[in-house]
Each structure stands twice: as structure tokens, then as C-alpha cells.
């Protein structure tokens, strides 16, 4: 009996040593050691029972993976390389949501900003060979799967559907002073003129934030002067178009000369798009509205850079009508009389979520199909064409609410941020 036990012990030790010494030579990884006490929740987080609030083990970050033969590691791709992938567990979170970006005007460093169910992460992505998780901005309310952030004048402005969240303001310049990473940083201003909200849009030309989906103004835009970021001032709102789920606000410079220089609000308002002149905050005026066939849930959209076309996404049409990923191309040459010019259907049945234009490209977060890159250079003839993708959710392309939530394509370096609900932060870039 003793000999048998000794033999089993030796075999077990040998197996353990062998497994610990094996290496995966097909993937470049960086190991992040968690410096926090694994028994403590994230600072400022009142919900220690949430499974995403602690990070007791070292985690792997995927380094560079070239897109070759249709894959970057396990991720289907076309013409876009993986710079890095940071899983949710590194951030001490269990779900991701919105993302944005910031370039420090003093240092030139590029930072990815990604929202989680329990806070917000800031990642220095300047050097592809030295990606740094710099800091987390933890929540001080209950967790929420919905969080949205935009940037103005080196401050981040964030809303959430968490009760009592209001609008939180964070001074991004604090990231310069972080020595030991990841640091845990606090809110610089709490705006409490509404309880919670779904989304926020900012017109950086004028210094106004437009909070939508709050309990004020029937869910329409709540106007906030943020020209002094740490002293935001409410300046009214607009309820004439009903609930806005998302919005873009621009200082108009498009083909309709009647509105040149005016501040124009374009709301994705569930049943269609509403266009409002919000130049005079005390007297906003509806310009027009537009609906379209097979409406499911008009979710989000973005103007082309010439302000001629609006590319809108409907979050429910793939499920409700069985269509492939659909983008609605709206012609806004005459803001008083917009019309649906054409529709573009992608190659998969995945649900589109957030999309943004840059030059002649449309960068679309398409949930289970990941990031899709669409050439819009021939948009006037309706000739949209997919020219690349990076699928952050390789399991399937089903019409489900998993995968890529949002993208940020505006860094001068060409890096693109993708926030994946299930898999965390991805940074990708077009192949050289």
C-alpha cells in the first residue's frame, strides 16, 4: 500500500512539473500581476459580491497577432491586425460596454477608454509593444451594464443607467501622474440634475453636452453647458421628439445653406430620426423627422464628414425581420426634407450596434460579427462595400446581444478601439 501511494505521488509531481513548464509558443503574451489584495473589492465599489469585482489571479494579455489566412490567433479577420487584447478579468469586471478615446495634447499619448459594469478603464495604447493598463475609474453606485462616455477639453463625461449616477466628470490629465499601475482614481465632479441616463453626446465645437434617455424632457436631450468642465450648467432641454436613445450634435457645415453654422441635433429616437435646431437652448426647434420601412428600434447613427448623409442603425430589425445586418442611408441634403436613399446589408445576420464615419470609411460594431469596415466612397450611388473586419466574438455571428458593443476609430495613428461585451478590450490596426 505504501509503495502504491509513493508511486502515485511521484507520478503526480512529475505531471505538475511538466504542465507548469510547458509554453504556448504560438501566442505572444504579457502577464499582469494583480497588486491588490484579492480579498478586497475595487476601491469605491459598494458591491463586493459581484463576481467581476476582484481579480485574484494573474491574467494573460494577447500581444500582437498578424491577420494571416483569415485569422489573427483565434479571431477571424480581414486586413486588420490585432495589436492587443485585454480580457475583462484584468480589469476586475464581468461585462464591457461603451468605448471612446483620448489623445493627450501635451504628451501625444493615446488612451483607450472602456466602460465596464463596475467602472471605466484607461489604457495607454501609444506604444504597441508596451500597452499599459493605467487606471480604473470605479463606480460608487450599483453596477450597470449600460455606461456611455465622451471627451471634451481633456475631461471625460460619463452617464449610466445605474440609479443615482447622474453625470460624472473625470480629469484625464490625472493619467499623466500615475506611477504605479493600475491606479484607482476618483470622480472630479458629480452633476445631479437628473438621476440616470442612457447616453451622452457632445458637440466639441460649442462645449455643450446632450444627455439622452434620462428621466428629464421625456427622455429627450438634456442640455448642459460644459465649457467649464468642472462647473457644468443646465440650460434646458427638448421633449418635442420624445425619447432619444442616442444622438449626434454638430455645428452644421453641410449642403443645406439655410442651416450653415447652426447647431444641429440628430436623434435616433426608436421609431425614426429626429432633426432639431438646438442653437438657441431656450427655444429648440424641430426641423424634420424621418422614419423608414421595417422599423425595429432606431438605435444610433453618424453623419458623413460632409454632413450630407446619415448612416443609421436599427438594433432590432435583424431579429424582427430576418435581414442581414442593415445600415440605412439617409440623404440630408435638405434638412427640412430628408429621405431614405438606400439600404446596405452586410454579409452576416449579426445585429449592428454603434457605427462611426471617418473619411470614406464607416466603422461598425456589429455585435457577434465584431468590427466591420465599410467603404462609403461611393455612397451617393448607394455603393457601400465591406473591405475589412476583425471579429472579436469568434463563437458565431448569430443575431444576439453578445460581442462588439462599440468602436473608436479616431486616433491619428490609425489604431482602432473595440469594446466587446464578453471579451473586453481589443486594439486593432489596418495591415501596413
The pLDDT tens digits of the residues spanning 134-145 come to 999 998 889 999
CATH code of 206-345, in short, is 2.130.10.10
Nearest to 172, CA basis, from 122, 227, 99, 116: 122
Please tell me the distance from the alpha carbon of residue 393 to that of residue 406, in angstroms, as a whole number.
Answer: 13
Instruction: Provide the mean pLDDT of the chain.
Output: 89
What is the arithmetic mean of pLDDT over 77-89?
A: 98
Phi/psi for 306 (5° steps) reads: -85, 5
Q: Given the DSSP bridges, would you call strands 309-314 and 298-303 parallel, antiparallel or unpaired?
A: antiparallel
- pLDDT tens, position by position, 219-271: 999 999 999 999 999 999 999 999 999 999 999 999 999 999 999 999 999 99
pLDDT (0 to 100) of residue 60: 78
* pLDDT band per the 50, 70, 90 thresholds, residue 59: low
Q: Is there a contact between 348 and 397 (Cβ–Cβ < 8 Å)?
A: yes
The residue-averaged pLDDT of 148-175 equals: 98
Residue 312 vs residues 84, 148, 329, 392: alpha-carbon distances, Å: 29, 18, 7, 22
Quick one: which H or E segment has residue 75? strand 75-78
pLDDT band at 180 (very low <50, low <70, confident <90, very high): very high
382-408 as b/e, with b when 16 or more CB fall inside 10 Å? Answer: eebebebbbbbbbeebbbbebbbbbbb
Cα end-to-end distance, the chain, whole Å? 65
The ranges assigned to domains in the chain are 46-192+393-432, 206-345
DSSP letter for 41, please.
Answer: P
What would the pLDDT profile of 12-37 be if each residue is shown by its tens digit? Answer: 333 333 333 332 322 222 222 222 23
Interatomic CA distance for residues 21 and 76, integer angstroms: 30
List pLDDT tens digits, range 97-135.
Answer: 999 999 999 999 999 999 999 999 999 999 999 999 999
Q: Which residues of 174-200 are buried (b: 16+ CB within 10 A; e: fewer)?
A: bbeeeeebbbebebbbebeebebbbbb
Could you tell me the pTM of the whole model? 0.87
Give yes or no for a contact between 232 and 189, defined as CB atoms under 8 angstroms apart: yes
Omega before residue 182 within 30° of 0, cis? yes
* Backbone dihedral angles phi then psi of residue 404, each to the nearest 5 degrees: -70, 120
DSSP codes joined into one string, 96-152: EEEEEEEE-TTT--EEEEEEETTEEEEEE-SSTTS-EEEEEEE-SS---S-EEEEEE
Measure Cα distances from 392 to 149, 365, 419, 424 in Å.
Answer: 21, 10, 9, 9
Distance CA 261, CA 258 (A): 9
Neighbours of 356 (CB within 10 A): 21
User: pLDDT (tens digit, 9 = 90+) per residue, 300-359?
Assistant: 999 999 999 999 999 999 999 999 999 999 999 999 999 999 999 999 999 999 999 999
Q: 373-404, pLDDT tens digit by residue? A: 999 999 999 889 999 999 999 999 999 999 99
Sign of torsion over alpha carbons 375, 325, 68, 96: positive
The percent of residues in the chain predicted with pLDDT above 90, rounded, is 85
344's CB contacts (< 8 A; 6+ apart) are 326, 327, 329, 374, 382, 384
Residue 313's nearest CA partner among 346, 271, 355, 349 is 355
Maximum separation of any 2 CA atoms in the chain, in Å: 94
User: Are 427 and 84 a contacting pair, CB within 8 Å?
Assistant: yes
Residue 85 near residue 77 (C-beta atoms within 8 A): no
Q: Is the pLDDT of residue 5 over 60?
A: no
Per-residue pLDDT tens digits for 265-288? 999 999 999 999 999 999 999 999
Residue 242's closest CA among 175, 195, 289?
A: 289
Q: Given this model, what pLDDT does residue 265 score?
A: 98
Residues with Cβ within 8 Å of 398's Cβ and at least 6 positions away in sequence, in order, are 349, 350, 368
CA dihedral of 244, 248, 252, 254, whole degrees rounded to 10: -100
Amino acid at each position: 500500500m505504501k509503495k502504491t501511494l509513493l508511486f502515485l505521488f511521484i507520478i503526480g509531481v512529475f505531471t505538475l512539473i511538466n504542465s507548469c513548464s510547458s509554453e504556448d509558443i504560438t501566442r505572444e503574451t504579457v502577464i499582469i500581476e494583480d497588486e491588490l489584495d484579492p480579498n478586497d473589492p475595487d476601491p469605491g465599489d459598494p458591491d463586493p459580491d459581484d463576481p467581476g469585482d476582484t481579480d485574484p489571479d494573474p491574467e494573460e494579455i494577447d500581444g500582437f497577432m498578424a491577420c494571416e489566412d483569415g485569422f489573427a490567433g483565434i479571431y477571424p479577420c480581414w486586413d486588420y491586425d490585432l495589436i492587443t487584447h485585454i480580457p475583462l478579468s484584468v480589469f476586475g469586471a464581468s461585462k464591457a460596454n461603451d468605448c471612446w478615446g483620448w489623445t493627450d495634447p501635451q504628451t501625444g499619448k493615446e488612451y483607450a477608454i472602456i466602460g465596464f459594469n463596475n467602472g471605466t478603464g484607461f489604457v495607454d495604447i501609444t506604444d504597441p509593444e508596451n500597452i499599459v493598463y493605467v487606471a480604473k475609474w470605479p463606480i460608487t453606485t450599483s453596477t450597470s451594464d449600460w455606461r456611455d462616455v465622451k471627451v471634451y477639453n481633456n475631461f471625460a463625461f460619463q452617464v449610466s443607467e445605474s440609479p443615482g449616477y447622474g453625470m460624472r466628470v473625470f480629469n484625464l490629465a490625472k493619467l499623466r501622474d500615475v506611477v504605479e499601475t493600475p491606479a484607482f482614481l476618483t470622480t472630479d465632479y458629480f452633476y445631479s440634475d437628473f438621476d440616470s441616463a442612457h447616453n451622452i453626446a457632445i458637440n466639441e465645437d460649442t462645449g455643450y453636452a446632450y444627455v439622452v434617455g434620462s428621466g428629464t424632457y421625456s427622455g429627450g436631450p438634456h442640455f448642459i453647458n460644459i465649457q467649464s468642465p468642472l462647473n457644468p450648467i443646465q440650460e434646458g432641454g427638448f421633449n418635442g421628439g420624445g425619447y432619444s436613445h442616442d444622438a449626434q450634435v454638430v455645428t452644421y457645415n453641410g449642403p443645406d445653406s439655410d442651416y450653415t453654422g447652426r447647431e444641429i441635433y440628430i436623434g435616433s429616437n426608436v421609431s425614426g430620426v429626429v432633426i432639431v435646431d438646438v442653437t438657441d437652448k431656450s427655444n429648440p426647434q424641430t426641423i424634420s423627422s424621418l422614419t423608414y420601412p421595417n422599423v425595429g428600434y432606431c438605435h444610433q447613427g453618424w453623419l458623413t464628414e460632409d454632413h450630407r448623409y446619415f448612416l443609421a442603425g436599427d438594433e432590432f430589425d435583424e431579429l424582427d425581420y430576418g435581414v442581414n445586418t442593415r445600415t440605412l442611408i439617409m440623404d440630408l441634403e435638405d434638412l427640412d426634407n430628408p429621405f431614405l436613399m438606400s439600404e446596405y446589408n452586410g454579409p452576416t445576420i449579426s445585429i449592428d450596434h454603434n457605427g462611426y464615419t471617418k473619411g470614406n470609411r464607416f466603422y461598425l460594431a456589429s455585435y457577434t460579427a465584431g468590427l466591420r469596415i465599410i467603404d462609403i466612397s461611393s455612397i451617393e450611388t448607394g455603393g457601400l462595400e465591406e473591405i475589412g473586419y476583425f471579429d472579436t466574438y469568434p463563437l458565431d455571428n448569430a443575431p444576439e446581444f453578445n460581442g462588439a458593443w462599440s468602436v473608436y476609430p479616431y486616433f491619428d495613428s490609425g489604431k482602432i478601439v473595440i469594446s466587446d461585451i464578453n471579451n473586453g478590450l481589443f486594439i486593432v490596426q489596418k495591415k501596413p
